[in-house]
Amino acid sequence: MPAVTYEHIKTCKQTGARLGIVHTPHGSFETPAFMPVGTMATVKTMSPEDLKQMGAGIILSNTYHLWLRPGHEIIREAGGLHKFMNWDRPILTDSGGFQVFSLSDMRKIEEEGVHFRHHLNGSKLFLSPEKAMDIQNALGSDIMMAFDECPPFPATYEYMKASVERTSRWAERCLNAHQRPNDQGLFGIIQGGEFEELRKQSAKDLTSLDFPGYAIGGLSVGEPKDIMNRVLEFTTPLLPADKPRYLMGVGSPDSLIDGAIRGVDMFDCVLPTRIARNGTLMTSNGRVVIKNAKYERDFGPIDENCDCHTCKNYSRAYVRHLIKCNETFGLRLASYHNLYFLLNLMEQVRDAIRNDRLGDFREEFFEQYGFNKP
């Protein structure tokens, strides 16, 4: 029995969105799902109890960061990442490729792997498909990602073609290095940028290797949203309908809805906690920049349509005060609300799929949030 399986519940009659359940060794979660990001084995300022209370079904952590600090062997000795961070629900770990390219310079890509400098102390490091698999095996994540190259945007067709072919060879090496296929699911990552031919090539290469799930990589790297949506439109149909589809690095409300409509099941993004820390809050009526003076005497909730712990117990004026004073509690209140907002949005998306009306929901949400404003 593979470690990770997908159960399709239904497809929305109004759009291409699908309702499903992903089953893993640490439990199941409904899809479409948003995964809070816990890079350093913590979703910043949130406790596991907070995450459960807000309905997080799965969280993401990062091979690159945990390899560097505290070191994957320490986590292996702790009994794995679930035990180390006291999270007993599913964990997905990214493979490190993207983090190397987004964090460190002085990098050199070879067939064997990537040579680069530690982004904090500059020491020379090397990451390969086999090393990325060894680290993820030590972490014991339920879903591991294949080691890939996420090419920059834009990239030439020639560069992208060579990169896709190497990423496909790396994916096979990851499968061959997989030590615990019954305990950990390994997802392949489709690359190819905005080139339909290369996305087809990547999908053909990786679906022939029969992974339990597939990610769509190489997006949310600065391309306009209409390009992302177009790439999704011709890429998701290339992926097996009985496997989860994970769009990497996507987390704004409009992109989550538009990705679900195009058949995506899983998303992750640091956006909600990152913008929360500087006081930008997502609400049903659009973004609220809480440091703005107009909230100084606003004793109402962040979002009157939100029933999260922050909105039920604290005012905009109070959160504004804490954020301006850089009080840690303010970071917690803002992060809690933003994560809750996205998790609740995904619950509304799943509801709309159940009722075959995700297209209508999109219109209503975009109108109220202000996405339709010119």
Ligand X SMILES: CNc1nc2cc3c(=O)[nH]c(N)nc3c(CCN)c2[nH]1
Q: Contact positions toward Zn ion, by CB under 5 A?
A: 306, 308, 310-311, 337
SS3 184: coil
- Contacted by 306, from Zn ion, ligand X, none: CB < 5 to 8 Å by type: Zn ion
Which of 203, 221, 288, 319 binds ligand X (CB under 6 A)? It is 221
Our CA angle for 231, 234, 237, nearest 5°, is: 130
Nearest approach in angstroms of CB 40 to ligand X is 13
Which listed option, ligand X, Zn ion, none, makes contact with residue 308 (CB within 5 to 8 Å by class)? Zn ion
221 binds, among ligand X, Zn ion, none (CB under 5 to 8 A by kind): ligand X
Shortest Å, Cβ 298 to Zn ion: 14
Q: Is residue 98 at the binding interface for ligand X, with CB under 6 A as the rule?
A: yes
Enumerate the H helices of the chain as residue ranges.
Answer: 48-53, 63-68, 72-77, 81-85, 97-103, 129-139, 157-176, 196-207, 225-235, 253-261, 271-276, 309-313, 316-324, 328-354, 358-369
Identify what 113 binds: Zn ion, ligand X, none; CB under 5 to 8 Å per kind: none
- Which residue has tokens 């712990």? 309
- Give the list of residues 6+ apart from residue 313 with CB closer than 8 angstroms, or none: none
d(CA 316, CA 300): 6
Q: How far is the CB of 101 from ligand X (least distance, A)?
A: 9
* 218 binding ligand X? (CB under 6 A): yes
Paired strand residues for 266:
33, 246
Q: Which of 94, 134, 148, 205 is catalytic?
A: 94
Residue 258 known to be catalytic = no
Q: Give 5-9 contacts, CB < 8 A, sequence gap 24+.
A: 5/212, 6/31, 6/212, 6/213, 6/242, 6/243, 6/244, 6/265, 8/241, 8/242
Q: Measured from the CB atom, is 75 or 164 closer to ligand X?
A: 164
For residues 337 and 350, which CB has a smaller minimum distance to Zn ion in the complex?
337
List 129, 192, 217, 279, residue binding ligand X (CB under 6 A): 217
| Minimum distance from residue 166 beta carbon to ligand X (Å) | 13
Phi–psi pair at 348, nearest 5 degrees: -70, -35
Report the distance separating Cα 247 and Cα 232, nearest Å.
9
The catalytic position among 134, 205, 265, 268 is 268
Using CB under 6 A as the binding rule, the residues of this chain from 258 to 297 that contact ligand X are 268
Query: Tokens 């219109």 sit at which residue?
Result: 363
According to CB under 6 A, which residues from 226 to 255 bind ligand X? 248-249
- The yes or no reply on residue 95 touching ligand X (CB under 6 A) is yes
Among 22-30, 70-78, 216-224, 252-260, which window interacts with ligand X (CB under 6 A)?
A: 216-224
Which stretch in 82-90, 214-222, 237-245, 341-349 sits in contact with ligand X by CB under 6 A?
A: 214-222
> Coil, helix or strand for 31?
strand
Instruction: Give the footprint of ligand X on residues 109-148 (CB under 6 A).
Output: 145, 148
For 16, 242, 353, the CA distances from 237, given in Å and listed in that order, are 10, 12, 18
Cα–Cα distance measured from residue 4 to residue 24, given in angstroms and rounded to the nearest whole number? 5
In order of 21, 176, 211, 361, 371, the CA distances from 24 in angstroms are: 10, 21, 14, 30, 35
Q: Which does 337 bind (CB under 5 to 8 A by kind): Zn ion, ligand X, none?
A: Zn ion
Interacting residues with ligand X between 144 and 173 (CB under 6 A): 145, 148, 150
Residue 307 falls in the annotated catalytic set: no
Report the nearest approach of ligand X to the CB of residue 211 (Å): 14
- For the annotated catalytic residues, the residue numbers are 94, 268
Binding site for ligand X (CB under 6 A): 94-95, 97-98, 145, 148, 150, 189, 217-221, 248-249, 268
